[in-house]
Amino acid sequence: MPLSNVNPDAYSALLEEKVAKVKTLLLPYSPPPPLVVESSPTAFRLRAEFRMWHEGDELSYVMFRKGDPKTPVPIEVFPIACLDIQLLMPRLQSRLKANALLRQKLFQVEFLSTLAGDTLITLIYHRKLDEEWDKQARLLASELKVEIVGRSRKQKRILARDYVEESLPINNRTYCYRQYEQAFTQPNGRVNIRMIEWACECTAELEGDLLELYCGNGNFTLPLAEHFNQVIATELSKTSIRAARENLESNGIKNVQMVRLSAEEVTQAMGGERTFRRLADLPQELADYQLKTVFVDPPRAGLDSGTEKMVATFDSIIYISCNPETLARNLASLSGSHRIEKFALFDQFPYTEHMECGVLLIKN
C-alpha cells in the first residue's frame, strides 16, 4: 500500500466506498444489513517489514511501489504502524547505522508487536551470523527493551525467545496468546478483538460440538471453546499448531483437540475416504462427535471445492473471509443449502481495497 494513500481525514469516506462495493458483490445471496467495524485511522498495524537500503554511510528503511521493484522509496515515518513500532523505528535505525557488525549485509527488518506492549524485531541478513553477532544483538535488544531474532540463509539465531505475548480482552475475559515470528497473526489488533467477539455472538443459539479449519495459533479457538461442548481445531502449519497448543494450556482450556491436518485432509477424514494416524489421539472416534457447526477462516483463495461440499453438510457455518471475491464464489455454492443469518465487515486494512468479512450461514 503506498503511504500516499494514507489520509485519515478521508478514512470514513473510503470505508463507505469499500462497504458499498462488498454489499453489492454479495447482494445476490441476500445478506442482512452488515455490522461495520471501523479501524483506527492510524497506528493500527501490529506488523511491519522493510527492506534496508545501504548507500555509503546511510542506512534507510525502504519499500517498493507495485510495478517498480527496483526503485526504493525511503520510509521516514510509518503512520499506520502501532505507536510502539513507530517509536522503535528511528531508534533502531540510528543504532544499526552506528554498528558496523549489525548493519553488515543487513537485508530486511521485520517488526512484530502486540496490544500488550511486547515487541520482537527480526533482522535478516545476506551473510552467516556468529557469536559476535549474538553479543552485539543482545546489547541492542537490552537497550531497546525488545526481543531480537537473527535470520540468514539456513540460519535462525534466537537470543531469548522468538515470540511475543499478546493479551486480548474478549467478553469479560482476557485471553493470552503466544505469537511466533514469521507465523500468521492478525495485523489489526483492535479490529481482531471485534471479529472474535462477533464470532462468539454468532454461537448464541448453536449447540453441539465445533469443527474449526485453519485455526492458526488459536486466535478464534480459545474464546469459541467456551460456547461449545467439544472443539476439534485443525491447522497445517507446525509453528501455528505449536502456538495453539501452548495457548490452550496457558489459558486452561480443556475441551479443544488440536490436529495437524489441512482442510483437504479434514474433508477426506470427514467423508471416510482416508484414515489419519494424527486423529488417533482424539478421546473418541471422529464420528462420535456432535459436529453441527464449522468455523472457517481460509486464506485468500477461499474454500476449495471439496471443502466447500464438506462444510455444506453442517447445520451452521461461521465463515471469516479476507477476500470478498472468493467468499462470493463460495456463497454461490453454499447458498443452495444455507442462508446468511448474520453479516459483518471488519476494516482490517484501511486505505486498501481489502475488506475482512464475516457471515453466519444457517441450513435451510
Catalytic residues: 322, 356
Between CA 350 and CA 353, with CA 351 as vertex, the angle to 5 degrees is 90
To which residue does cell 443449502 refer? Answer: 337
Q: Rounded to whole angstroms, how far apart are CA atoms 347 and 113?
A: 19
Contact in structure between 23 and 34 (CB atoms under 8 Å) = yes
Q: Which triple of cell numbers denotes residue 316?
A: 451452521
Q: Which of 3, 189, 182, 186 is nearest to 110 (CA)?
A: 182
Biggest CA pair distance of the chain: 67
Strand runs labelled E in the chain: 35-37, 47-55, 58-65, 68-74, 106-113, 119-125, 147-152, 155-158, 163-170, 173-180, 209-213, 231-234, 256-259, 291-296, 316-321, 338-346, 356-363
β-bridge pairing 119-125 and 147-152: parallel
